[in-house]
Copies of this chain bind each other. A is one copy, B any other.
């Protein structure tokens, strides 16, 4: 985490944010909950902020990063699975026929996740993800996916941490996939990453204990699953929650319905030039109910095009 940047003086703690109501509200919220003796003061131990990952902290277009990982893993594992050449959704992945993959529906997605996220130990999976994330490149920017994090959100994470907040990721993505790089990229340690997860089995083989990833979902950390994952791992209601899609609706609802000062925000993807523009009709990261209800629930919307001076760190 950055050193303790003040809210006033010592420069702007959110230099990549344009001035406007959203930036002002963020700074005001942090100031209010940390002002000792003030009416909205919250002790440091209760300063919990939760962040969705895909589309909130990094780019999720044209394909969720974890899906790119799944595709590469299916290709890498295919020689050991000749039957995949004639079996959907694997055949579609191998032939680049994403329509066939999509046609396999949720069941197909679960088959792909099981084939690429289970049958190995947690430690072996961690190594596989670390290897992949350091070599794979984003198709549009030809850079590592971890370069495509949002500079304004990195500044927000640093601002919150400098003011005593614990920052958590709360994502529908696989927890082991994110833990493999979240500490390096966001400064968020494994114990502050909450995601969907497979069931685990503890095994001792030849005297060596291991945790085996099973081909069965233990938690789907999306929509109403987000407050559940938050309660399981954190055990208290966040003060602030940040998302970008209707999958985050319940997380923002749960967070902002607590007593005292609360903050809810959606990143609205409005910048087709520098990033992507999508909301109600998106195939991934759909934001519709959230867009409708944000105003009356007091949630903020980041207008990416207007509110962010830069999108990615490499633009600076």
Which residues of A pack against B, CB within 8 Å? 45, 48, 122, 166, 175-176, 179, 183, 189-191, 193, 197, 200-202, 204, 208-209, 211, 218, 224-225, 227-228, 231-236, 250, 253-254, 257
User: Which one of B175, B191, B231 contacts A166 once the chains associate, using CB atoms below 8 Å?
Assistant: B191
List B contacts of A200 (CB < 8 A). Answer: 228, 231-232
Given A200-B228, A202-B228: A179 and B235 interface contact (C-beta under 8 Å): yes
Inter-subunit contact B191/A236 (CB<8 Å): yes
List B contacts of A225 (CB < 8 A). Answer: 202
User: Which one of B191, B228, B234, B257 contacts A208 once the chains associate, using CB atoms below 8 Å?
Assistant: B257
Tell me the bound Cα distance from A257 to B45 in angstroms: 33
Which of chain B's residues has its CB closest to A175's CB? B235
Inter-subunit contact A211/B231 (CB<8 Å): yes
Which of chain B's residues has its CB closest to A224's CB? B202
Inter-subunit contact B202/A233 (CB<8 Å): no
List B contacts of A231 (CB < 8 A). Answer: 122, 200, 211
Tell me the bound Cα distance from A35 to B284 in angstroms: 48
Distance (whole angstroms) from the CB of A158 to the closest CB of chain B = 17
List B contacts of A233 (CB < 8 A). Answer: 191, 232-233
Inter-subunit contact B250/A202 (CB<8 Å): yes
Inter-subunit contact A197/B232 (CB<8 Å): yes
List B contacts of A45 (CB < 8 A). Answer: 183, 189
Tell me the bound Cα distance from A225 to B197 in angstroms: 15
